[in-house]
Structure 1
Amino acid sequence: SDRARLGLPEVTLGFNPGYGIARFLDIAGGGHGRDLLLSGRVVHASEALRLGLVNRVVAPATLDASATRWASEIAASPREGLAATKSLVAAMRAGTPGREPEAYGAALRTSEAARARIRAFAERNRRSG
């Protein structure tokens, strides 16, 4: 919502955030992240968007519809591709990508269903391009 406010007030209460500092710094970046962690400053939705803390900002009246539309966009993708992508992202974030997620993704691309989706995608692009 464009009315949202985000902050990490723990330092103003005399302690540190208990969880997610590394992830927060990955998202916000070192300078902005340290600023927010050390100051306890609260940012409004527009600044949170500029800092990359949120992906989008919408009016409260459209929040439910926007969230439903976003979830529907994700849910429209094949479950196998979503699972493989989530697995790869988690492994990369943990610093241990290994070969399993890539092998899983390669196996998915060779399934008949995947080949049919790739052909349909290429055909749509050929017609529109």
Structure 2
Amino acid sequence: MAIKIKPADTWFSKCIRQASKWTCERCGSVHEPGSMGLHCSHVFSRRHRTIRWCKENAQALCFSCHQWYGGNPVDSGAWVENEIGEGVIMVLREKMNLRIRVSKLEEKEIARHYKQQYENLLAGATDFDSWQ
């Protein structure tokens, strides 16, 4: 079953890709803004709604690196641990296991938050605030 892409996902993804300057965080390939060649890849699956929109749970990966990441769990796990650190992974796991429900209303707030963050990035900000 495919996970439905919501406005909060769209704006979050735009923030991740814009903050990376449209550059793959693994191989360094540069993509045109708005390109479909650069993806917002999640460390832990988007199905975990407690961390679905958490900045530390995502990275900008090109199509090829995203395929590698999903198809090589041992190597990609070691790579991501090296990139973000064991401590961040432990915090993400703790948040992931919380039994908190994200309401539809809250999803709209998340979308608004990331839309504003994206506009800030376009205006010259070099980083953005995570909703979670």
Is the TM value for this pair above 0.5?
no
Higher relative contact order (CA 8 A, sep 6+): 2
TM-score by length of 2: 0.26
Report the structure number with the largest CA radius of gyration. 1
TM-score by length of 1: 0.26
More helix per residue: 1
